[in-house]
């Protein structure tokens, strides 16, 4: 008898949290992570485009400590070296980063690889190449990401829902006020960046959004 070793599918939480230093009203990445954890957010991606590698490493060491203590999944955007050094749970990469199979070689089969996608062909390729989940977006126009392609809209999200079997997270211009449109296209996991990090009371906002997403899935 042969047992084929298959990796169980990852489950993404209803709300996917991302740091955004520039849009955090003077609060640090660590402050943001603490607010997210306080609100019981179960996955946090460290996304930092402005600090040095040295500064990012220092923050990621601290975030690893906080996320481990609180059972929160910790994903590092872009920096595979930093992810490895702090023993993060995974990395998130874009279309111009190293190929997925090479990243897999570096971080191993037990870690999470997330890939940003903006079209059906990119989504299919990421799935075939062994991504654990994909980002789908930007759904709506956003100022948070520079050099991002124009909004791909809800139609691409719907396509992914129908044609892709790995988990996906909808991202880009999503707010509490338009989240219903994203959930009705079949998104089970949503990333909201600026609306959370710009809130005066981040943890209350996060809790409200989680409640909203989970209510919607109960009502299905």
Binding region for Mg(2+): 78, 97
Interaxial angle between packed helices 53-69 and 29-38, expressed in degrees from 0 to 180 and rounded to the nearest 10? 20
| Closest-CA residue to 193 (of 128, 137, 150, 154) | 137
Among the listed residues 42, 47, 56, 111, the single catalytic one is 47
When the beta carbons of 31 and 78 are compared against Mg ion, the nearer one is 78
Is 211 an active-site residue? no
How many CB atoms sit inside 10 A of residue 28's CB?
13
**By CB under 6 A, residue 173 contacts ligand TZP:** yes
Beta-strand pair 133-136/168-171:
parallel
Specify the 3-state DSSP secondary structure of 160.
helix
In this complex, which beta carbon is closest to ligand TZP, that of residue 192 or of residue 202?
Answer: 192
Between 80 and 174, CB nearer to Mg ion: 80
**Site membership for ligand TZP, residue 174 (CB under 6 A):** yes
**Single residue of 43, 60, 88, 193 touching ligand TZP by CB under 6 A:** 193
Q: Which of 16, 137, 154, 202 is close enough to bind ligand TZP by CB under 6 A? A: 137
Cα angle value 120/176/134 (rounded, 5°): 25
Size of the site for ligand TZP (CB under 6 A): 14
Q: How far apart are CA 171 and CA 115, in angstroms?
A: 12
Residue 199 tokens, joined = 């809130």
Which DSSP letter does residue 21 get?
Answer: G
**Is 116 marked active-site?**
yes
User: Which one, 41 or 148, has the nearer CB to ligand TZP?
Assistant: 148
Q: Which helix (H) or strand (E) holds 135?
A: strand 133-136
Of 24-32, 51-59, 139-147, 156-164, the segment contacting ligand TZP by CB under 6 A is 139-147
- As a whole number of angstroms, the distance between CA 93 and CA 117 comes to 10
x-or-dash string of contact with Mg ion, 61-100, rule CB under 5 A: -----------------x---------------x------
Catalytic hit among 42, 64, 111, 145: 145
Q: Are 21 and 220 in contact (CB under 8 A)?
A: no
Task: Give residues in contact with ligand TZP (CB under 6 A).
Answer: 116, 137-138, 142, 144-145, 148, 171-174, 192-194
Residues identified as active-site: 47, 116, 145
């Amino acid at each position: 008898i042969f047992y084929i070793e298959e990796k169980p599918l990852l489950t993404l939480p209803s709300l996917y949290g991302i740091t955004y230093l520039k849009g955090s009203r003077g609060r640090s990445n660590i402050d943001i992570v603490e607010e997210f954890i306080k609100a019981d957010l179960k996955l946090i991606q460290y996304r930092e485009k402005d600090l040095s590698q040295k500064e990012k490493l220092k923050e990621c060491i601290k975030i690893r400590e906080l996320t481990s203590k609180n059972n929160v999944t910790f994903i590092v955007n872009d920096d595979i070296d930093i992810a490895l050094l702090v023993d993060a749970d995974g990395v998130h990469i874009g279309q111009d980063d190293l190929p997925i199979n090479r990243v897999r070689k570096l971080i191993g089969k037990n870690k999470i690889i997330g890939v940003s996608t903006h079209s059906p062909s990119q989504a299919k390729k990421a799935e075939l190449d062994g991504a654990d989940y994909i980002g789908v977006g930007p759904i709506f126009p956003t100022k948070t990401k520079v050099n991002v392609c124009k909004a791909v809209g809800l139609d691409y999200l719907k396509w992914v829902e129908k044609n892709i079997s790995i988990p996906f997270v909808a991202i880009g211009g999503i707010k509490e006020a338009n989240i219903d449109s994203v959930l009705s296209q079949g998104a089970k996991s949503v990333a909201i960046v600026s609306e959370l990090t710009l809130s005066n009371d981040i943890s209350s906002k996060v809790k409200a959004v989680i409640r909203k997403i989970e209510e919607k899935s109960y009502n299905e």
